[in-house]
Structure 1
Amino acid sequence: MVTHEQWENFTQTDHNTWKILFERQSSLLKQRAAEDIIQGLEKLEICNDQIPKFSTLNHILKKETNFSIVPVKGFIPEDLFFKFLSIRKFPSTCFIRKPSQLDYLEEPDIFHDVFGHIPLLVNPIFSDFMELFGRKGLEAIEAGMLKFAATLYWFTVEFGLVQSANGLRIYGAGITSSKGESIYCLDSEVPTRIKFNSLRAMKTQYHIDSFQKTYFVIESFQQLFDVL
């Protein structure tokens, strides 16, 4: 499950795929993503020329919020995932999707994990929230309430929206790494966008293989931390 980064194994096709995804999403998110994501990408010097090295990102991350990236082979058990978060480590996959999978991938790849999740870990409040989520996630497993923790994670960390001074913005990694959902979540009249309520979020059904029918809107990352 836990592995070593083998960056040198990426092919030129892999780096080209990263470049296409990066340029498409960074352009799309300029007026759609929370400012903290744009700032995080800049601070981490994540760019379009090649897939970033975890070692380079970790050097900056550790300095900013004492978080680091742990390379994993794919999905890991929930208890290990939450354990990593509780010690300020974020597990990331080490493969990238094929060029034919640009718009949809069933499991997270390095673009989803690094472009989607890592920029917000530069934010001190959000990184504290993620550490706390790890601890609370472990408690939820012990209490037989994993389903509720997983659902809350889905509607915040993966598919959350935030009300900013500039209007509704994206912060969830599942949205920021998806071209289609980046547009749909803000522009479509189909989904409902609800003021964030943790109990309601935990009891709401989510969709893995389609755009969400419901999005929860937070006021700030401090609100997320306080509610947790």
Structure 2
Amino acid sequence: MRILVVEDDAETADYVVRGLTEAGHTVDRAADGREGLFLASDGGYDVLVVDRMLPKLDGLGLVRALRAAGVRSPVLFLTARTGVGDRVEGLEAGADDYLGKPFAFTELAARLNALARRPPLSAEATVLRVGDLEMDLLKRLVTRAGQRIELQPREFRLLEFLMRRAGQVVTRTMLLEGVWDFHFDPKTSVVETHISRLRAKLDREGAPPLIHTMRGAGYCLRAPD
């Protein structure tokens, strides 16, 4: 396999590169996120090993940029950040697997072999659609019935989160974790305030509502009946 290791800790990187090379793989190393993005952007690697905490561009930003550019190389996060919220965040950013530090090299090698055996994934959609609502993830453009809707960055992230789960009930806790990266309840109305603002922008000029409050459960974005 051709493997890229993106790791800023020299001792860890040397250990991983040496072990994978001894196992017969061709291994390149990047010491920061920007270098990793540059090397991986052509999609020529069979698998990437990426640390979360990287200088210049962190691991999440690296993976998101690769996925937005259509690079489908499997990614394994190798990191000391192993909390449930960290793992979920990494996987939702586009990673395929997650291994915590400290780690056993034999497990790392087995996971990489498993990732390399997976059949190629079809390109992830870069345009989300729910009814007459459309979100272009690359252009950062949202339209409804062909009319452009201007959103603030947090509103865009909130809408993307809802559109990716269209037809499903999304709880307040899921929104706090997925949109605000809060792993606790801040006891504020931040979710309700942003939902209200988003509704006002989506449902203007008498358009049928898209975001529905599911009393006692959360919210659901769905196309009008």
Could you state the TM-score of these two structures normalised by the residue count of structure 2? 0.33
> Higher helix proportion, which one?
1
Bigger relative contact order, structure 1 or 2 (CA pairs below 8 A, ≥6 apart): 1
Instruction: Say which one has the larger Rg.
Output: 2
> Higher strand proportion, which one?
2
Could you state the TM-score of these two structures normalised by the residue count of structure 1? 0.33
